[in-house]
Amino acid sequence: MCGFAGYLGGTAFSGEAPEDAPLGDMTQAILQRGPDDAGHWVDAVNGIALGFRRLAIVELSAAGHQPMQAHNGRWVLVYNGEIYNHLVLRAELEKSGHAPRWRGHSDTETLLAAIAVWGVEATLARCIGMFAFALWDRETLSLTLARDRMGEKPLYYGWQGQGRNASFLFGSELKALRRHPAFEGRVDRDALCLLLRHNYIAAPRSIYCGLSKLEPGCILTVSLAQPEPKVMRYWSMQQTIEQGVTKPFDGSPMQAVDALEVLLKDAVAQQMVADVPLGAFLSGGVDSSTVVALMQAQSSNRVKTFTIGFHDAAYNEAPHAMAVADHLGTDHHELYVNAQQALDVIDRLPRLYCEPFADESQIPTLLVSQLARQQVTVSLSGDAGDELFCGYSRYPHAQRVWNTLSKVPVGLRHAAARAATAISPKYWNAALAPMTAFRSPHKRTRNWGDTVHKAAGLLLAKDAAEFYCKLNSYWLDPASVVMNDAGYRESINSLPPGLQGLSFTEHMMAWDAVGYLPDDILAKIDRAAMGVSLEGRVPFLDHRVVEFAWQLPLSLKLRAGVGKWVLRQVLYRHVPRALIDRPKMGFGVPIGDWLRGPLRDWAEDLLGETRLRREGFFDAPTIRRTWQEHQSGTRNWQNKLWGVLMFQAWLQSTQDAATGGLR
């Protein structure tokens, strides 16, 4: 796991050594992604610079140093990630007689050799792994960027500067691009609207105008002769979904369980290969328990597992993780975190995330990464099981609600919404409070009034896509909050078209797989893990597992309102059902309470009315009203406020660090 940065064109090239030029500053900005080694390669005549920071995982010697040149001298590569089947690719090259004389056993060298023989697209079709890379072709003087199928590894790019100063910047994180003299730094207010809606910025946008995220499964080519980037898709989640529906798995349920276990065991085995200590995150839920069970079943040593505990029972999964670890016999490590430890992390978040990001679970994710890094350099996780195997409780709930709503005339729905919102949240809380008296803590809704008012907004949805988007929106009308003279251009759903032949539940899973998974979950894992120089691996995102999951009919995922049926059957072969079958808890922290307590002064400073008006990004009266309602306890606006606060904290951090201001 590593990080890279570079630039094409512009006036940054001179006779200086790379470490004295912008390239050195750019790679230094992402030091945490690769503390073990640094490398630079510059061709000033042709205007290309490639920089690299290395976290050594496979091939720890200098034979894995980057930037790496191909044996034939044509290509130069900087690459972040792991090709898990690279030894298989080596064997294929050797069998065909096209293998070079290997310098070492790094997957970087394998990737370069494969590209030299098969080309970029055909090589990526053969690769199983997570990656982002920049490849310079010294023959055609062109640059190629590529990103893995699921979007596990980040890659930003774009032209910055004008005229002779224009440079095409690219890299693993925006903080590296900010160090280049051509960087402009103008905040994209439409992207800010996306942040308020989703609490993350959906690809291909970034927080900055002119800079984009390369979308998963894509290859980009650009050159000084052809400066307009050309993007092509070599793998498509949407096509994978549609093909799965067109040609579904036709075996029995038990045959599906058998096939899934074989695929997962192979994916886990491949991802356990490393030349450094390796472990896994374990929450005790279905997904992480499955990954750890398959790791332990294939390991002669006790697998190191890690979990974070909280003293608040409503957020604590540590006892469940301990029970699973005891059954499997792992070398288990847990850390019970107090409020102050969690709060101390918040100050690091703006620097850790190179653009504003507001998934509250970023806090425990960083904490568990810190815990794991004390003993291992690689950690596997169970992420993506929910999106692939229908694990979120919102899927069946939303399906039931939409089935009912869609039968109600629009006019009647609008009238019901007006009636529901005519009653204040305070009175709804009082009226509905008795409903929570006998519910377990994780099922209690502390503010029923907010739930009712949000449900009223759902009544106004014109179709299923808008309904699901509203269900997962924090600010339903971001354009009313962000000061944006140009007008808000995001469509209401920001979802891919097509996806024929799917039920509404499958549509929700597909939408999450295309957007929420790469832009929220995987971004969170990458920044949290790399922030402590830890490589995170996600076996469920082996593309063979993804493709098989979408071939399975929904009936093998969702049964009697409970998701992940087929995955649970795999797990039950290794872990007793009694240790697993319980309501899903999630991975959260009590942000709402903290904003009324220990975080109040911090938030008040960031949300001060004078400050908001001076900076000019948000409508100050709306933000102040939302903040005061939350402080009074009449409303629970923690999710709305967290998105605004993460932008404000990020803005302050970048202004403190930058040589120039933001506009």
Catalytic (active-site) positions: 2
> End-to-end CA distance of the chain, in Å?
34
Please report where in the chains the tokens 């604590």 appear, as a residue: 316
The 3-state secondary structure of 392-432 reads: CCHHHHHHHHHHHHCCCCHHHHHHHHHHHHHCCHHHHHHHH
| Contact status, residue 170 vs residue 212, Cβ threshold 8 Å | no
Within 423-522, where are the H helices? 425-432, 448-458, 464-471, 504-511
Q: Rounded distance, CA 203 to CA 216, Å?
A: 9
Tell me whether the omega of the peptide bond preceding residue 364 falls within 30 degrees of 0, making it cis. no
Residues in the chain: 663
In angstroms, the CA 552 to CA 389 distance is 9
What SS3 class is residue 20? helix
Q: What string of H, E and C letters represents the secondary structure of 46-58?
A: CCEEEEEEECCCC
Q: Which helix (H) or strand (E) holds 342?
A: helix 339-346
* Cα 208 from Cα 188, distance rounded (Å): 5
Picking from 514, 568, 523, the residue whose alpha carbon sits closest to that of residue 240 is 514
Two structure tokens written together for 387: 């999106």
User: CA 540, 541, 544, 547 torsion: positive or negative?
Assistant: positive
**Selection from 492, 514, 538 nearest residue 378 by Cα:** 538
Both tokens of 233, joined, read 């898709």
CA 425, distance to chain mean position in Å, is: 33
| CA–CA separation, 218 and 220 (whole Å) | 7
3-class secondary structure, 239: helix
Cα separations (Å) of 22 from 26, 160, 626?
A: 6, 14, 42
Instruction: Quickly count: other Cβ atoms within 10 Å of residue 16's Cβ.
Output: 14
Residue among 92, 148, 58 nearest 546 (CA): 148
Report how far residue 104's alpha carbon sits from residue 63's, in angstroms, rounded to the nearest whole number.
5
Tokens of 74: 């044509």
Largest Cα separation within the chain, whole Å, is: 77
464-471 and 394-405 helices, crossing angle to 10°: 130
Residue 527 contacts residue 519 (beta carbons within 8 Å): no
Amino acid code (one letter) for 572:
Y
- According to DSSP H, which parts of 220-313 are helical? 237-246, 253-271, 286-297
Q: Is the peptide bond before 590 cis (omega within 30 degrees of 0)?
A: no
CA separation for the pair 265, 537 (Å, rounded):
14
Pseudo-torsion of CA 631, 634, 636, 637, nearest 10°?
-60
Element counts in the chain: helices (H) and strands (E): 28, 17
